[in-house]
Structure 1
């Protein structure tokens, strides 16, 4: 066992062990939750493979995880392949990450040993694990003074869609409108991921769920979920968003993209980014490039390959743009090929829209910053998140329907969607709704707000 801490031998009342899935969105949500719990004066142990603990550190935005009181990191060296991405795969799911997912299963014995050790010197050990690391922690409930909680790095709305499809419970009319339009699961994941997920589902044995959402965003779906909770003492907490809702950017430490935004008019820039798990084909890049140029709107476009299982290994594919493109658009477009400070870009007053794959972290960051979304889902939970953004919350516009996912989105569609979002009365209305939701989320995390109270309730529950 390698570790950045020697605190495992110190005696404590209650300690928390957090076990994320080794993929960026999951690592990030678990790290932010670790930070919040450690600030409640609870020792927290963030545990993953060596490569993924390093990844979590390297992408923490605006704070230093290694100098945070009560936050400890334990990493276990495991070996796995990190194949390159395949942008031409028929299903967009990032299959290159599957070896890393499977590698996390090697942590079952080391994590059980760690919890046993902590349990021998603590009154209670709380294990918070990603839904997709349930298999790793399956031995933990047999340890007498432990409790397990499942971290869902998704919305309560998404989790409820599965319940609704299976049982069709009655729902309010505003939920029914959305649920009756649910896109199919076809093309969302690959067979090997479904197999991996089934292994997790078969061993679930938790005392409660934690959701990466806020009751200000999808409280109705949390209420519906709670009505159907069995047993009745099973608890659900919405502790998100797992990102700051107020940004304090150090003036000396500004990223070049933020400095570029400083020179643009208010709400004039669309931010284009498809997250850490999507690779575009050459055809998709060409049409997107032409559409952005034709829209005549200002943009920041993050043009980078999806993460590999180990982001520190090997070469990264460089995308080609049409000849002379970057020079032609240089007055109003910035093409970035490196990791982008997404929250800072979304939180900048010059940013007025976000073209996104609708991964849940990106959705909730956009909501937190009051930015409407051009929804272009690629895989996993994204098609359903896109429906929630456009039809449920009404803070976005669809780039293409999920049924047409195998078609290349033409430049004309990109141009039309960008203009609608950025320069039309319809876009203005989405922006207004997005700003209202931002205020609601902000109030929720402040003292006395619903999220703040929910975090207090969770801390009181685990330290009871």
Structure 2
């Protein structure tokens, strides 16, 4: 993206207020880059441990963030429990103490924005919707709500959204089939949610990490409902800004030229490898790991499997549980038997975007976190869906039933204790995605959609124009 040659740098500043969880931190860092490309200074704020985390895991080198200023605030000590792979639900309860500690950022961030407003003509605050409590006192800035989840998830949770007479039939069917998450969160997280929804904050609009090519019907539905629910607002004041995907849209050079994942992929043919990764917040039981391993082995397909301990609230502490996980035994002889066609990364950070962008990657077995969905879609990779919590069931429905670029590996459901998906199911799904005629058609559709998404960010493309309209709006 070309830099805007105006003097906006001295006129407008943007403050990013992310939720302290990896997927949320990452999305707002990518948006920070897009905005800073217009020579607008961006202040990315949060607790010291989470600023350190997002810097450690960013895709590009530090010099790419020359207009991004990271600002750390202290937060009180919080409990830092390890994840429980045998929990009866897959919601990452281990990060809830960290989320609660973030509420102590309310006064420091309000004061920071107040001080910043004396140096700029306008300050714009983009806050995660789950940080509404923290920003509620800010009165000297234009505030915009950031939705870190998909538009289809938001629409599916809204009462009677599917009844909209202008909602396309296919989109209505998906909304009606998507399970509600109401009542399915741990009580501690529901309490945190209630705190956010009860915190009234005037917002100039909602920003989505999405685009019309991916979620057009759902974005239009949400925009209509916004206008109908707030009729006193001028209709030309756009209420929904689709500014994504935020992640880089071309395959990236690895920050480490000797990265073993990319070097390993270089040895294999086009579309021959499936990436297996379930995100940063959830751990599987030993039994489920064993079944996945056996399924991958029996499928006879090439794979990269990212097998890691889920993040805690503070990722920089070590525990006996992590040591135990790194020593986790896979089925006896497994790694030796698959060494020619499988790469298992145990408790390592993998460059997911670069892997998905590699020519050898032809499939993605995923939990359907929105970051992962967007990275897979923008790189043109079809998916096998295995949703675990939150917006992931809605995302999986979008991928499989809406976009038709995925196959269902497991339905989401609430159970008492984990219901283990068998090796036979894993084998069947992997083979279906990678070597069946149906999988080939999904791969073709995924490649076409990925191309359309990337084209939308070219000069004159719809996503590019929407971004430029947003920049004009906040610098007006």
With the length of structure 1 as denominator, give the TM-score of the two structures: 0.94
SS of residue matched to 1:122: coil
Q: Is the 8 A contact 2:382 2:406 kept in 1?
A: yes
Instruction: From the superposition, tell whether residues 167 and 300 of structure 1 become closer, same or farther in structure 2 (CA, over 3 Å).
Output: closer
Q: 1:376 offset after TM fit, Å?
A: 0.4
- The secondary structure found in structure 1 opposite 2:446 is helix
> Shift of the alpha carbon at 1:234?
5.3
Equivalent residue number for residue 448 of structure 2: 436
Structure-2 residue corresponding to 1:327:
336
Task: Give unpaired runs (5+ residues) of structure 1.
Answer: 1-10
Residues 49, 104 of structure 1: 8 Å contact kept: yes
Residue in 1 aligned with 2:26?
A: 28
Q: Give the distance between the partners of 2:104 and 2:399, measured in 1 at CA.
A: 37
CA drift at 1:248? 3.8
Residue 96 (structure 2) pairs with residue 92 (structure 1): no
Question: For residues 463 and 341 of structure 1, what CA distance do their matches in structure 2 show?
Answer: 35
Listed as ranges, the gaps of 5+ residues in structure 2 are 1-8
Q: Is the 8 A contact 1:92 1:188 kept in 2?
A: no
Cα shift at 1:205: 2.2
Q: Which of 351, 354, 357 in structure 2 is aligned with 1:341?
A: 351
Change (3 A) 1:250 1:136: closer
Question: Which is worse superposed, 397-406 or 318-327?
Answer: 397-406
Distance in 1 separating the partners of 2:352 and 2:265: 13
Report the CA distance between 1:184 and its aligned residue.
Answer: 3.5
Other-structure match for 1:223: 220
2:163: which partner in 1? 168
Q: Structure 2 matches for 1:165-244, cutoff 5 A?
A: 165=160, 168-170=163-165, 171-185=167-181, 188-203=184-199, 204-229=201-226, 230-231=229-230, 232=235, 233=237, 235-244=239-248
Task: Tell me by how many angstroms 1:177 deviates.
Answer: 2.1
Give the match's secondary structure for 1:134. helix
Relative to the length of structure 2, the TM-score reads 0.91
Contact 1:86 1:279 in 2 (8 A): yes
Partners of 2:182 and 2:204 lie apart in 1 by 32
Matches within 5 A, 1:36-75: 36-64=34-62, 68-75=65-72
CA distance in 2, matches of 1:81, 1:252: 34
Give, in whole Å, the separation in 2 of the partners of 1:166 and 1:187: 19
Whole-angstrom CA distance in 2 between matches of 1:333 and 1:167: 43
Residue of structure 1 equivalent to 2:6:
none
SS at match of 1:128: strand
Give the equivalent residue in structure 2 for 1:458: 470
| Counterpart-to-counterpart distance in 1, 2:475 and 2:151 | 25
What's 2:423 paired with? 411
- Deviation for aligned residue 1:425: 0.4
Alignment of 1:87-126 (within 5 A): 87-126=85-124
Residue of structure 2 equivalent to 1:263 = 267
Instruction: Quote the Cα distance in structure 2 between the aligned partners of 1:113 and 1:426.
Output: 56
> C-alpha displacement at 1:180, in angstroms?
2.1
2:150 corresponds to which of 134, 147, 155: 155
| 1:449 paired residue number | 461
Of 249-258 and 444-453, the range deviating more from structure 2: 249-258
Task: Indicate conservation of the 8 Å contact 1:129/1:148, yes or no.
Answer: yes
Measured in 2, the distance between the counterparts of 1:407 and 1:252 equals 39
Distance 2:130 2:256 in 1: 39
1:303-314 alignment runs, 5 A limit: 303-314=307-318
**1:39–1:69 contact (8 Å) kept in structure 2:** no
Q: Do 2:307 and 2:345's aligned partners in 1 also have CA atoms closer than 8 Å?
A: yes
Pairs aligned (count):
450
SS at match of 2:413: helix
State whether residues 150 and 391 of structure 2, in contact with CA within 8 Å, keep that contact through their aligned partners in structure 1: no
Given that 1:188 and 1:381 are in contact with CA atoms closer than 8 Å, whether structure 2 keeps it comes out as: no
Q: Which residue of 2 aligns with 1:13?
A: 11
Secondary structure at the residue paired with 1:249? Answer: coil
- Structure 1 stretch displaced more, 185-194 or 98-107: 185-194
Q: Cα distance 1:360–1:251, how it changes in 2: closer, same or farther (>3 A)?
A: closer
Distance 2:384 2:162 in 1: 32
Q: SS of the residue aligned with 1:177? A: helix
User: What is the alpha-carbon distance in structure 1 between the residues aligned to residue 452 and residue 184 of structure 2?
Assistant: 31
Q: CA RMSD in A?
A: 1.7
Cα separation, partners in 2 of 1:172 and 1:273, compared to 1, 3 Å: same
Q: What is the aligned partner in structure 2 of residue 6 from structure 1?
A: none
Measure, in 2, the Cα distance between the counterparts of 1:57 and 1:403: 35
Alignment partners' CA distance in 2, 1:189 and 1:347: 34
